[in-house]
Amino acid sequence: MSASPSRKSYIHPGHGAGYWLIFARSAFLILLSFELVIRLFILKHSPVEYKPGWGIIHVRDSYSVHGLEGFAVTHYLDNGEIVTPYQDGISVVVLGDSTTKAAQIPNDSNYVSLTEIALRTRGIHADLHNLGLPDRSIADYVALGPYVQKEYAPEIVVLQVNPSQFFFARAENRPNHFVDAGNGVLKLVTDQPDQVHNLAFTNFISHSGLLTLLDFRARNLLISHSPGQNGTDLAGEGQPIPEIERPSKNKDPQLALRQYGEEILPQIKALQAAYPNSKLVFLVIPYTPTFPSSLDDKIGWISPDDHLLARTLFFMDDVYMIYTLDAFQDLYVSEYNLPRGTWNSAFNFGHLNSHGHAAVASELVKMLGNILSYTEENDETGK
């Protein structure tokens, strides 16, 4: 009787260690290719650090890549300041949200840099410090006051504002917010949370373009599904508006203006107290034009909340105000260009494009040129 052959386990070559090694290597190369493309052309986050008073800011000499709306590389100086063409001259600080940060266009094409360049051609050597950062409120601007004054000693502080920034300034869930102290006076509450975990997470994410993109999408998904929203402000980060009555819903224009003035006046006073040695210039950038769904209707040039804010600031004493509505209208009528919308974003939607920034810069140059020229004339005459 012949011996039966020994039973040996049989593994298909395709399922062996060599197969899985090739699979892992291929997957790694594909993932690496995705990572490279994302970091170069879609999204790369700069490393950040926590600085007392300034919060979480981008590290000096670092850069970010943004290609989700337009495309640009943003470079940073100290305190999260965005690089402008010049770093000498009369100090002018520009505070704003993502509109001022302008991650969608190159550093030298945003309205802060364009203004700085244009002032130089007029013989005015001004150093504009671009401190734009997304999701800021008026309370954040006030909290920054002592640090901005110490670091930059600005002759002028330009505040890019929109209605949401005044609403969010009273939101108690934000680190910096106002509470009523009585007699029309506001008290600033600064409740900075422990930033260690937040900072560590952000820096971990920043090492990967893929993780940065996934985090960006997740945050936007959470915002779009947040409960209790009564609208969004497209010009101000797309964040949910707090649950308070919008001023433009008041049917009586005069009553709306008076009530809105009473609402924001204490915040204006808080800003003046935070920057006692600086002239304040409020920059209102409306979300217009709006296009009708029917060809029979006209293009809309009035954004009710923005327009009400501009009118209210116009009647306030001891502040300057710029409202870029006319500049946007001139841009459309004369050049057939819109202030918003890029090659990879929706039509007339989102942040300012290069045309919009040029239009804003033209208005800011006029205002700063007049203020600084007047200041120099008074200095020369000893007044």
Residue pLDDT tens, the chain, 383 long: 555 555 555 555 556 788 889 989 999 999 999 999 999 999 999 999 999 899 889 999 999 999 999 999 999 999 999 999 999 999 999 999 999 999 999 999 999 999 999 999 999 999 999 999 999 999 999 999 999 999 999 999 999 999 999 999 999 989 899 999 988 899 999 976 666 667 888 888 888 999 999 988 888 777 655 443 333 343 344 444 444 455 556 567 777 788 888 889 999 999 999 999 999 999 999 999 999 888 888 899 999 999 999 999 999 999 999 999 999 999 999 999 999 999 999 999 999 999 999 999 999 999 999 999 976 556 555 54
Helical (H) or strand (E) element with 165:
helix 163-168
- pLDDT of res. 239: 46
- pLDDT of res. 231: 35
Write the CA distances from 165 to 7, 159, 300, integer angstroms.
77, 11, 23
Distance separating the N- and C-terminal Cα atoms of the chain: 124
Q: Which residues pair with 90 in a beta bridge?
A: 126
Question: Encoding tokens for residue 253?
Answer: 């224009």
Beta-carbon contacts of residue 80 (< 8 Å; ≥ 6 apart): 54, 57, 58, 131, 133
Q: Which amino acid is at 241?
A: I
pTM for the model stands at: 0.87
- pLDDT of res. 145: 98
Q: Where are the alpha helices (DSSP H) in 240-318?
A: 253-274, 304-314
Q: Which amino acid is at 42?
A: I
Q: Which residues pair with 290 in a beta bridge?
A: 300
- pLDDT of res. 244: 45
DSSP classification of residue 321? E
- List the beta strands (DSSP E) in 46-107: 48-51, 55-58, 63-66, 72-75, 90-96
Write the CA distances from 299 to 290, 302, 303, integer angstroms.
6, 9, 12
Q: Tell me how far apart the alpha carbons of residues 380 and 372 are, in angstroms, rounded to a whole number.
A: 12
- pLDDT of res. 189: 94
Domains of the chain with CATH codes: 80-194+242-381 (3.40.50.1110)
- pLDDT of res. 143: 97
